[in-house]
Amino acid sequence: MATTYLPGALRPANPTRRAFISAAGLAVPIAATAASPVLSNPRQKWASLVAEFHRKEAALQVVAKEHNAAETAFFAGRELLGECPKAPEADYPRPIDEMTVGELRELRASPEKQKQFATAFADWHAECEKLEQHTVAEVEDRWQTATDEREDAVNAIFACPSPDAAALLFKLNLAEREYHGLGIDLDETVAKHVFTDVRRFARGEA
């Protein structure tokens, strides 16, 4: 597990963990809308979802900094443990090109070398796990939780019908940054929600 961490910047996107994207420039004029004495329910719902997205985005950025610092500490500590022990190579009795396929298949390192390797690897791996628990484990859980909560907030925005053109633009910009900005194919469900909104606006139903 320890070797899965990436140092430095936030992790790149993957099937289970998408890197967070700054929402700067995506702000919707919520404050002006909130100041209106009468709000339609769709606009209230939209404003609430966008506000929740910004809260989750800010929370993720905070814990992401902690996560990066923890990973930096982990990799620095692992450097002190030295390289991961490598399995011993077999001793070839004669040049490899002179050996038969059967002989190569049967060739094994000595039992003593295998035993030494197994012991060294177990010790190294145990030290890595202790280091991981000390530096990364706790913040890793919080980072994953914050990532999941932000993703839920994003999905809620896409699922909510856009109450006006500004909301639709927010959604389109978010889709572009969330997916195409990272070279990721647009999620089928997200695309369906966005296209539904566009069709509503085209028919004058929004």
- Note the pLDDT tens digit of each residue in 135-151: 999 999 999 999 999 99
What pTM, to 2 d.p., does this model score? 0.62
Q: What is the domain extent for residue 171?
A: 162-206
- What are the pLDDT digits (tens) for 72-105? 999 999 999 999 998 888 878 788 788 888 777 7
One-letter amino acid at 112 equals E
Is the domain of 187 the same as that of 147?
A: no
What angle (nearest 5°) sits at the alpha carbon of residue 84, between those of residues 78 and 85?
145
Split into its structural domains, the chain has a count of 2
Give the residue from 106, 78, 88, 93 showing the smallest Cα distance to 4.
Answer: 78
Average pLDDT, the chain: 78
Examine residue 34 and state whether it is found in any structural domain, yes or no. no
Q: How many CA atoms lie within 13 A of 155 on its CB side?
A: 9
Number of CB atoms found within 10 A of residue 2's CB = 19
Is the domain of 121 the same as that of 148?
A: yes
Is the domain of 154 the same as that of 65?
A: yes
Q: Give the residue from 122, 138, 160 where a domain finishes.
A: 160
Examine residue 12 and state whether it is found in any structural domain, yes or no. no
Q: Which residue has the tokens 């992401």?
A: 64
Is the domain of 130 the same as that of 172?
A: no
Contact assessment for residue 130 and residue 1, using Cβ atoms and an 8 Å cutoff: no
Q: 131 vs 20, which has greater pLDDT?
A: 131
